[in-house]
Amino acid sequence: MPGLSCLNPLRVHFTVFLPMNKKASSVHAGAMSVADSSPAPQANAQTLLSQAGTLHSLKAIGVSSIADTLCGRHHSKDFSYARGDYLRGRVTVIAILFLVLLPFWAVLDFFLLPDDTRSYTLVGRIFMMAGLVLAVFLARGSAGRFNRARVSAGLLFFLPAAFYVLVLFALTRHPGTHDLVGYSFIPYMLVVMLSLFPFTLIESGVVGAVLLLAQGASQYLTGNWFTAAGLQESWLLFALLTIALTSNYFHLGLLLRLYREATHDPLTGLLNRGALAHSLDQALQARGDKQMALLMMDLDHFKRINDQYGHPVGDRVLAEFARLLRQVAGKNDFAARYGGEEFVVVLTQATRAQALETAERIRAQAEITPVTDHHGRTLNFTVSIGVAMFRPGETLEIVARRADERLYEAKKLSRNCVVGA
């Protein structure tokens, strides 16, 4: 039958009915094969399991590292969306603040700048205001579009830096006025601004390098190149940049840890239900004409594993299945623990055939994935999967309901199945 893949292994099946969410719902238990292997000494096994559990806990809560803060290549899609939200909010506030201050700054130009430079700076300020309006526009429309949020943040730094260079060249015919008009503070201001944003170290480093070049151009035009005063200015700017980069490291690292603790299941390291809904909402906004699919999964007879082997072994099964989902899901896909032994994977670029193929791969891989209990014995588990495609205008709740209906069909058939429309 199209969209249906089932196996009927010789296993014992039974169903236990428990109340859940004030409604009677069936909790499936059973289906497990146990193969005796040569048990290792119990103390050594427990030590190894403890070490593995500690390592898994560190990964689950997201201990920050240089790799996490150096660039965004290691960031998940959901965290990129969250970081885009932070960038959007900060860009909007600071750009509006600049727009409010620009007219007052233009009045100061009238009193401080030489007469023949006002036309240059006036045009520069007009372009700067237009650019700031564009930055606000891009930021406000960047939901689900992380690169647009980055562009808006880049404009916020590029526009004042470009205006600074413009003023430098406008004042080349007026020696000695550079310090008088007080524009030399702009590079320092922009470097300090870096610490306000959750930039990666590479992003801040690129901006800082541009500002150091602008500072060097300023010293060359004013005759401070390689003088004691010029070296002091460069050292101050470099010191501020170092502080800003350190701030970015702790800022982004803290944001990563807090985000993961708030949005990820501590046992499996996958997204929790609320974070899945939020991330998927942004993905749907940026969906375009891409086909998307939802895989609803439930571990077969999971209660029997807990009853027979204890909850620590059951937790190990959940963690092992989560590891499998992370391996199968692509960089742009979402994997989440939906509740209990239920899991969800959202494929953001998949046809119906590709979604069924991915679901079957998960089912087949789960069946042969071993888990070791406290005595060194190996046990196996199976999973039932329901597949549903996103239709135009549908929310997560609607698609999840259809996928859950197909999951129920898989449970009725024989479990260890994939059922899709």
Q: Which residues are catalytic?
A: 341
Using the 8-state DSSP alphabet, how is residue 19 labeled?
Answer: E
| Number of alpha carbons in the 13 Å side-chain half-sphere of residue 330 | 12
Which H, E and C letters describe 17-29, residue by residue? EEEECCEEEEEEE
- Eight-state DSSP code of residue 271: B
Token code pair at residue 361? 């791969």
Three-point CA angle 140, 146, 147, nearest 5° = 100
For residue 80, give both structure tokens: 């990129």
Contact 193, 211 (CB under 8 A): no
- The alpha carbon of residue 163 and the mean position of all alpha carbons in its chain are separated, in whole angstroms, by 34
Angle, vertex CA 367, rays to CA 365 and CA 370, nearest 5: 90
Q: Which of 306, 326, 327 is nearest to 317 (CA)?
A: 306
Which residues, other chains included, contact 303 with Cβ-Cβ below 8 Å and sequence gap of 6+? 16, 27, 28, 29
Strand bridging mode 334-339 / 417-420: unpaired
Q: CA-based angle 79:80:84, to the nearest 5? A: 115
Query: Which among 418, 420, 411 has a CA at the least distance from the CA of 14?
Result: 411
Residues 6+ apart with CB under 8 A from 325: 270, 335, 343, 345, 362
